[in-house]
């Protein structure tokens, strides 16, 4: 039984009905002019907190959350379109890093932000697996290489790119997995979450943007994700539950600065539904 702890400050409530209109589950009703969720309907709550967010006067609290703690939103609070365009076009996959660790307070802040990323049905069943120390990332790199070499020595067939990568590491010390990044983040989701895979990818996309805005560099790491699929023993050593979807991103202080955006405006095919679909 969910305890919503849904409370309304009668002094602040202006009876505008915004909470009632915006509740996606439709369980808020004005009773004696004040919003109410009946005990019977509490289990239908999506726990999205739209009621707290939409109330213009901060009269609603849910789950014990004080609306005064939320960041107030004005019409110009978000980055404007031009800032977002510059971010989307200007973020790059960073493969050159400084070796200093990112301050732990900053990482903590970004992960708290990230816990706000949207999840299907508001499942919020994500876990963040973090290597927050460069030395730890180096140790993991050594262990990953060792695990792959052992597989190779045992005669297991590895994808060609992994075989080439092992050679590059052995011959030139080329870190083709972590790209010299001091940190990595693996986002996992509960396998039973309604949109588990989408939630993971979305959280990482948000993380990449947050990291860039914080002056960090980031790079998605399909290679580590592939290795973790191939070497399930390593996956369980990192505490990733069997069958849980996951993906990885590298990050750290960048040792490269890009002077301009790239130009890919026509990279995607755009098709108008109206040109394809002819209603009978
Ligand atoms: C899902 C995904 C997985 C990726 N995996 C890797 C990787 O393992 N190693 C790497 O160096 N770059 C990886 N990248 C970065 C891409 O190669 C990069 O996005 C692409 O070359 C375009 O460059 P840009 O991100 O700077 O625009 C990955 C990107 C995505 C979206």
Of the pLDDT bands very low, low, confident and very high (cuts 50, 70, 90), residue 205 is very high
CA distance 182 to 96: 10
Q: Does the Cβ of 89 fall within 6 Å of ligand 1?
A: no
CA distance 121 to 48: 9
* Mean pLDDT within 20-26: 98
Say whether pLDDT at 204 is over 80: yes
**Ligand 1 center to residue 122 CA distance, Å?**
28
- Per residue in 132-141, pLDDT (tens digit) is 999 999 999 9
- Per residue in 90-125, pLDDT (tens digit) is 999 999 999 999 999 999 999 999 999 999 999 999
Q: Does the Cβ of 219 fall within 6 Å of ligand 1?
A: yes
**Ligand 1 center to residue 29 CA distance, Å?**
48
- Lowest-pLDDT choice from 10-14, 34-38, 135-139, 239-243: 239-243
Q: What is the pTM of this model?
A: 0.95
Residue 1: the pLDDT is 63
Partner residues linked to 129 by β-bridges: 186
Helix, strand, or coil (residue 211): helix
- Identify whether the C-beta of residue 200 lies closer than 8 Å to the C-beta of residue 124: no
Atom 7 of ligand 1: nearest residue by CA position: 221
Structural domains of the chain, with CATH: 7-69 (3.30.70.20), 84-252 (3.40.109.10)
Q: Does the Cβ of 95 fall within 6 Å of ligand 1?
A: yes
Give kind and range of the element (H or E) at residue 87: helix 81-90
Pocket test for ligand 1, best of 87, 176, 206, 220 (most atoms within 8 A of CB): 220
**Ligand 1 center to residue 168 CA distance, Å?**
19
Q: What is the dihedral of CA 233, 237, 241, 244, to 10 degrees?
A: -70
């Amino acid at each position: 039984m969910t305890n919503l702890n849904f409370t309304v400050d009668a002094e602040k409530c202006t009876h505008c009905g915004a909470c009632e209109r915006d509740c996606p589950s439709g369980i808020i009703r004005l009773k004696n002019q004040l919003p109410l969720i009946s005990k019977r309907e509490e289990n239908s709550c999506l726990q999205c907190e739209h009621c707290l967010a939409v109330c213009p006067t901060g009269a609603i609290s849910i789950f014990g959350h004080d609306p005064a703690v939320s960041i107030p939103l004005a019409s110009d609070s978000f980055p404007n379109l031009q800032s977002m365009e510059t971010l989307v076009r200007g973020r790059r996959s960073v493969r050159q890093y400084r070796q200093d660790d990112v301050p732990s307070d900053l990482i903590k802040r970004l992960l708290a932000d990230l816990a706000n990323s949207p999840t299907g049905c508001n499942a919020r069943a994500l876990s963040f697996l973090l290597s927050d120390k460069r030395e730890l990332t180096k140790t993991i790199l050594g262990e990953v290489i060792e695990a792959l070499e052992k597989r190779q020595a045992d005669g297991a067939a590895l994808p060609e790119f992994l075989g080439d990568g092992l050679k590059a590491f052995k011959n030139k010390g080329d870190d083709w997995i972590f790209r010299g990044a001091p940190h990595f983040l693996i986002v996992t989701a509960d396998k039973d979450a309604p949109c588990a895979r989408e939630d993971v990818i979305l959280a990482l996309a948000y993380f990449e943007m947050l990291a860039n805005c914080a002056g960090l560099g980031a790079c998605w790491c399909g290679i580590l994700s592939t290795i973790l699929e191939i070497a399930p023993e390593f996956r369980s050593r990192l505490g990733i539950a069997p069958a849980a979807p996951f993906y990885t991103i590298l990050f750290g202080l960048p040792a490269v600065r890009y002077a301009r955006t790239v130009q890919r405006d026509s990279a995607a095919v755009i098709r108008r539904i109206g040109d394809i679909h002819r209603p009978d």
